[in-house]
A and B are shown apart, each in its own frame.
Chain A
Amino acid sequence: MLKAAAGSASLAVNEGKRGNIGSHSLSALYRKEMADHVTSKRFIIIMILVIATTIASVYGAVTGISSAIKNAAMDPKASFDAHFMFLKLFTTGGSSIPSYMSLIALIGPFIGLILGFDSINSEKNNGTLNRLVSQPIYRDSIIIGKFLASSTLIAVMILSTGIAVGCAGFLATGILPSGEEAVRVLIYLVYTILYICFWLAMAMLFSVFTRHAATSALASIALWLFFAIFMSLLAGIMANAVYPVNTEYQQAVNAFENYNLNLNLNRLSPYYLYSEASSVLMDPATRAINAVSYAQLVGALSGYLQLGQSLLLVWPHLVGLLALTFAAFTISYIGFMRQEIRTS
C-alpha cells in the first residue's frame, strides 16, 4: 500500500516537472532548427549572396539616380520625377545592375527553396526523424517548428537587407524617407517575406513526399521555372484559344476579354502576384492593374495614389499569396502526419 502511494506521488512529481510538454518541445525544435540553419554552410552562402545583392543594387541605384539627375540638368527636355525619391533607391537600377526589387524577386524564391528542400527527407534518411518521433512530442510540432524557424530567418534576412538598402542610400545620397515611403517599403518587405515563405512551404512539401533531397530540390526548381517563365506563355496561349484575336473583327470583339483572361490566368502564379503587388507598392504612379477603358479615363487627373488606395489594389494579392502558402503547408502537414516513419 505504502509503496504504491509513494510510487504515485513520484509519478505526480514527474508529471508536474514535465507538464506542458507541447510548448517545450516546439520551442526546443524551433531553437535547434534555427541554430542548425545559422551554423550551416548553405546559410552562409545565401547570406553572402543576399549581402552581395544588396550592395550591388544600392550601388546601381545611386549611380542610376545621379545620372538621371545629371541628364535632367543638362537637357531641359528630359524630365525627372523628383517625387518618392526614397522608393527609387529600391526600384532603380543603373549601369546594367538590376534594382534591389528585381534582384530580390529573382533570388528570393531560392532562399526559400534552399532553406526547405531537405527539411524532412534528409532527417528521414539520416535516421534522426525516427528518433525524433519516438520522443513525447506531438508530431506536428516537428514540421511547424521547421517552418517557423526557416520563416523567421527569412524575415530577419529580408528586413535587415531592406533597411540596409535604405540606410546606405541615405548615407550616399542624403535622401530621407517620408513617413509614407517608409511604410510602403515596410509593406513591400512583408510581401517579399510572404512570397519567399510560399517557396519555403513548397520546398517542404516536396521534401515530405520525396525520398531524396536532390529530387525535391529539382522538383521545386522546376516549379519555380514553370511559374516564372512558362505560366505567362501558357496563359497567353489559353487566352488566345478562348478569345481569338487573329482577325481585325475578332480583335474588336475579343481584345478586352482576351486581355482579362490572360491577366487572370497569370494571377494564379505566385510569381506574378508578387511582382504585380510589389510594383504597385513601390510605384505610387501605378493607378490601376486591370484593363481600363477610355471612358473610365475621361476627366481623370494624373497623379499619385495614396497609400491606402495602393493597398486596396494589392489587398487581393496578399490574400492570394497567403492562401497559396497555407495550401502548400497544409498539404505537407497532412502528408507528414499520415506518413509511417521507419528506417529505410
Chain B
Amino acid sequence: MTDTIIIRTEDLTKAYGTKTAVDHLCLGIRRGEIFGLLGPNGAGKTTTILMLLGLTEPTLGKAFIDGYDCTRESMQVKRITGYMPDNVGFYGDLTGRENLRFTARLNGIPEGEIDPLIDGLLEKVGMTQAADRKTETYSKGMRQRLGIADVLIKDPEVIIMDEPTAGLDPEGMREFLELIKQLSVKDGKTILVSSHQLYQIQQVCDRVGIFVDGNLIACGGINELGSQIAAEGHYTLEVETEPCDSRFLGYLEELDGINNITKKGNTFVISSSRDLRRDITKFLGTNEYKLLNMHQKGGDLDEIYRVYFEEAEKEGDDQDAKSGSRKRLFGR
C-alpha cells in the first residue's frame, strides 16, 4: 500500500511564450509520504502545482492524481486533493469558523455534519480560541493553521501546500511542521510541500525533489542525495587539532584531491574530492598531534542544495554540458 504511486506526472511541460516554466517533468510520489519540492523562486514549483490541480493546462504531457487525469477530470482530482496556496487568503470580514463553514458548503457536506466537523478541525490545528474572531485580525501563523483546517475539511487523500512556511516565526514553524508530520504519520495523508527553505523540509520530508529552472535536477531521500553528492566527490572535512601548525598544513597541501583549505582558529576546513579521514588520522597519530574534533560535512540539505544549485548555474554558463554528467548521475 505504501509503495503505490499516487501522484504521477509524465513529461509535464508548461511554456509561457518562449519561457519554459516546467520542462518535461517526470515525477512519482508515493502514497503516504511527505514530498518536498525544493527550488529557488521562479523555478516552476507553483506552476507544477497548478497543473496538478487542473487550474492551468499543461502545454505538453499529463499528470495524474490517484488515477484521475488532472486536466480532464479536475473535479475528481479536486475532491480528493486539498490545496493550500502560498499566502492563503480568507474573507476578512468573516470569522474563522464562518470561513470554514463556507468551504464545507462548497464541498457539499450536509449542514448537520458541518459544525461538529469544524469543531474537530479547529481543535486539531489549535485554533478553537480564535475561531470566532474575524480573520482579518489573524496573524500569519494563525492564517496558516486555519488554512490547514480549511484543507482538511474535505478529508483529502493528497494535500498540496505551496510555500507554507514562508513568513512564519520559528515557534510557528515548529508547530506547523509538527502538524504536517502528524497528518502524514497519523492520518496517512500524502503531502506535497513546495518551499525554498531547506531546513524545515529536511526535518519532515521523506523525499525531496530539487527543482531549478523548470527541471527536476535531483530527486530522492535526503540520505540518498547525500550519498549522491559524496559519490560525485564533494567532501568537506573540519579538523581541529592541537597544535594547529604550518607543518600540518604543509602535509595537507601535499595530499591528493584537495580543492581548498581554510583555517578558522584551530580548525582546518578542507574541501576535497575524496575521503581524507584515514590519511589524516594516520598522520596525526604518528606525529603526536592531539585531535580535538573531526567532522565530515555533507549529506545535509544545505550542502545538497548548494551543490545542485552551483551545478545548475554552471550549466547555465556552459550550455555544451547541458546533458552531460548530471543526467548520468541523477537520471530517473
B85 to A136, Cβ gap below 8 A?
no
A340 to B55, Cβ gap below 8 A?
yes
Give B214 Cβ to nearest chain A Cβ, in Å.
16
The A129-150 residues at the B interface (CB cut-off 8 A) are 130-138
Which residues of B have CB within 8 Å of A133? 55
- Residues 91-131 of chain A, each 1 if its beta carbon lies under 8 Å from chain B, else 0: 00000000000000000000000000000000000111011
Interface stretch of the complex, out of A20-28, A166-174, A210-218: A20-28
Give A27 Cβ to nearest chain B Cβ, in Å.
8
B53 to A134, Cβ gap below 8 A?
yes
Given contacts A131-B88, A341-B55, contact A18 B107 (CB under 8 A): yes
Give B136 Cβ to nearest chain A Cβ, in Å.
10
A137 to B106, Cβ gap below 8 A?
yes
B108 to A131, Cβ gap below 8 A?
no
Residue in chain B with minimal CB distance to A142: B106
The B46-100 residues at the A interface (CB cut-off 8 A) are 46, 50, 53, 55-56, 75, 78-79, 81-93
Q: Does B110 contact A (CB under 8 A)?
A: yes
Q: Does A77 contact B (CB under 8 A)?
A: no
Residue in chain A with minimal CB distance to B79: A136
Given contacts A39-B93, A131-B150, A136-B79, contact A343 B107 (CB under 8 A): no
Residue in chain B with minimal CB distance to A11: B80
Q: Does B174 contact A (CB under 8 A)?
A: no
Q: Knowing that A28-B102, A130-B89 touch, tell me 15 more A-B residue pairs with CB under 8 angstroms.
A: A24-B105, A29-B106, A32-B105, A127-B87, A127-B88, A127-B89, A128-B89, A130-B85, A131-B83, A131-B88, A132-B106, A133-B55, A134-B81, A340-B56, A343-B46
Which residues of B have CB within 8 Å of A20? 108
Which residues of A have CB within 8 Å of B82? 134
Alpha-carbon gap, A152 to B280, bound state (A): 82
Which residues of B have CB within 8 Å of A24? 105-106, 108
Residue in chain B with minimal CB distance to A18: B108
Q: Does A70 contact B (CB under 8 A)?
A: no
Which residues of A have CB within 8 Å of B107? 18, 21, 135-136
Which residues of A have CB within 8 Å of B200? none
* Number of residues of chain A lying within 8 A (CB) of chain B: 30
B154 to A136, Cβ gap below 8 A?
yes
Q: Which one of B86, B87, B106 lies within 8 Å of A28 (CB-CB)?
A: B106
Which residues of A have CB within 8 Å of B81? 134
Alpha-carbon gap, A138 to B74, bound state (A): 9
Residue in chain B with minimal CB distance to A41: B93
Give B11 Cβ to nearest chain A Cβ, in Å.
20
Q: Does A40 contact B (CB under 8 A)?
A: yes
A342 to B75, Cβ gap below 8 A?
no
Q: Does B103 contact A (CB under 8 A)?
A: yes
Give A5 Cβ to nearest chain B Cβ, in Å.
15
Given contacts A136-B79, A340-B50, contact A21 B86 (CB under 8 A): no
Given contacts A32-B102, A133-B55, A340-B50, contact A17 B108 (CB under 8 A): yes
The A28-44 residues at the B interface (CB cut-off 8 A) are 28-29, 31-32, 36, 39-40
B78 to A134, Cβ gap below 8 A?
yes
B91 to A128, Cβ gap below 8 A?
yes
Give A67 Cβ to nearest chain B Cβ, in Å.
47
Give A217 Cβ to nearest chain B Cβ, in Å.
19
Q: Which one of A17, A40, A135 lies within 8 Å of B110 (CB-CB)?
A: A17
Alpha-carbon gap, A132 to B90, bound state (A): 10
B102 to A136, Cβ gap below 8 A?
no
Which residues of A have CB within 8 Å of B86? 343
The B153-180 residues at the A interface (CB cut-off 8 A) are 154
